[in-house]
Amino acid sequence: MKLPNIKILDEKDKRLHQVSEEVTFPLDKKTIQTIYDALDYLEMSQNEELAEKYDLRAGMGLSFCQIGIMKRIFVVSEDFGDGTFGRYIVINPKVLSHSEELIYVGEGEGCLSVEEDHQGFVPRSARIKVKAYDCIKEKEIVFRLEGYPAIVLQHEIDHFSGTLFYDRINKQNPWTPIEDAIVIE
């Protein structure tokens, strides 16, 4: 398998701190190709042999601003552990509602655009309801997520406003447990 031509921006790139634009339709062929290249890249990054061969850090999600395209598109490729992946393409997502209950990853979050070590808990809503355009079904969809998938979705949506995960870490007490929150290990 050949590595797609995906160049991930570093956190120091000013584009990662800017607001992404709404996507207009129909999608052009180049955008569609980039979507599938990004999914292939993520899947290769989660394959130990290919990740070592191409020196890739494992990633599950990728927002288009991370590759220098300031559009509200992100992709997620979830490794099911049996050689198959769940592929998700999310365009122009809008949060319709979210829970007051919080959740966070016990070891902290990471990002393909962030190589420096930024440790601490990142509080997120435990449940989220989102409306987005599904380019596979070619229609708007509404979906609800909870737990780890809700964290991934919120992480990627944050990219659209120029927010990186470490912007949400409590700077004074990064490892202080968040009261009454669910911890994902």
Residues involved in catalysis:
156
Within 10 A of 65 (CB to CB), how many other CB atoms are there? Answer: 27
Q: Cβ contacts of residue 49 below 8 Å, gap of 6+?
A: none
Q: Cβ contacts of residue 176 below 8 Å, gap of 6+?
A: 121, 170
Closest CA to 16 of 152, 155, 159, 153: 159
Judged by DSSP in three states, 95 sits in: strand
Distance CA 73, CA 61 (A): 11
Distance CA 87, CA 66 (A): 18
